[in-house]
């Protein structure tokens, strides 16, 4: 297990339990206590955790972990979801994509589809995104037209937020918005932990003909701070096969098309 994989695991353990000792962490990760102490010290320097005598406790920031620490969580499910969501895109469309680990998998799935580089009439697929990493994934692998909204970068998600990006989004029309979320609930709708991200995502929803929410099963029925849109605005939900059948049924009763990958 490399350093970033260890850090990811340690942060997840702290998110679940709130605190952990060096001895327990070393046993769980099957590494030396000296390695865990170094990991804890480095994570504390980045203000991701707080060191204690003999261990560490979670900071509030671990509730919204930076993207680079979240890539391993539910990775197989997110890859399947990404492929399923990308299949909803046709050549020549204008597609909105926000940031996050699941939408990164959507971008990768889009990038490897040669039919999306040009349509029968020569029109390129256009992707409008407010996430720097999504733009990079597509730019280095494809010949699609990439439009990046402006704004201030959130290091946690690589997303651009604020009025600069909002000005651009208000001037475009999207055939479909493929949005990753922190939570989606049949009553409360789709939501994000950060209000700036939610605001940008809400603008994409407002400019989209169709809205597709992309969320692994851990996000279903959950709550987050800032609402993106009501459930009535969502046409399709793409999730994984681990989703609770009762929750899936609740979404379908509200008229959503639910795709389980």
Average pLDDT over residues 15-22: 85
pLDDT at position 176 is 98
Average pLDDT, the chain: 89
Q: Residue 115: is its pLDDT beyond 90?
A: no
**Distances 3 to 39, 46, 120 between C-alpha atoms, Å:** 8, 14, 46
Percent of the chain with pLDDT over 70: 91
Residue 260: band (very low, low, confident or very high) from pLDDT cuts 50, 70, 90: very high
**Distances 195 to 64, 81, 202, 220 between C-alpha atoms, Å:** 12, 25, 10, 19
Helix (H), strand (E) at residue 178: strand 174-180
pLDDT at position 63 is 43
Model confidence pLDDT, tens digit, residues 80-108: 999 999 999 999 999 999 998 899 999 99
How many angstroms separate the CA atoms of 165 and 153, rounded? 11
Residue 199: band (very low, low, confident or very high) from pLDDT cuts 50, 70, 90: very high
How many angstroms separate the CA atoms of 120 and 56, rounded? 57
Percent of the chain with pLDDT over 90: 66
120 vs 146, more confident: 146
pLDDT at position 202 is 98
How many of the other CB atoms lie within 10 Å of CB of 211?
23
User: What is the end-to-end Cα distance of the chain in Å, rounded?
Assistant: 28
CB 95 within 8 A of CB 89: yes
């Amino acid at each position: 297990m490399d350093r970033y994989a260890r850090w990811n695991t340690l942060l997840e353990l702290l998110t679940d339990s709130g605190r952990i000792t060096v001895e327990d962490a070393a046993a769980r990760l099957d590494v030396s206590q000296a390695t865990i102490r170094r990991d804890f010290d480095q994570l504390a320097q980045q203000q991701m955790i707080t060191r204690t005598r003999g261990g560490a406790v979670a900071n509030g920031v671990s509730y919204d972990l930076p993207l680079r620490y979240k890539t391993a969580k539910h990775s197989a499910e997110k890859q399947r979801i990404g492929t399923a969501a990308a299949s909803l895109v046709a050549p020549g469309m204008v597609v909105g994509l926000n940031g996050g680990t699941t939408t990164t998998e959507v971008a990768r799935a889009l990038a490897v589809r040669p039919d999306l580089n040009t349509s029968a009439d020569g029109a390129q697929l256009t992707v409008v995104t407010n996430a720097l990493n999504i733009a990079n994934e597509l730019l280095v692998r494809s010949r699609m037209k990439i439009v990046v909204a402006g704004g201030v970068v959130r290091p946690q998600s690589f997303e651009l937020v604020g009025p600069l990006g909002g000005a651009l989004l208000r001037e475009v029309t999207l055939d479909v918005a493929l949005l990753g979320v922190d939570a989606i609930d049949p009553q409360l709708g789709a939501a994000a932990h950060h209000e700036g991200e939610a605001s940008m995502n809400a603008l994409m929803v407002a400019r989209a003909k169709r809205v597709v929410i992309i969320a692994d099963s851990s996000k279903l029925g959950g709550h987050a701070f800032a609402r993106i849109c009501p459930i009535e605005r969502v046409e399709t939900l793409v999730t994984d096969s681990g989703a609770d059948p009762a929750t899936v049924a609740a979404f379908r009763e509200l008229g959503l098309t639910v795709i389980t990958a």
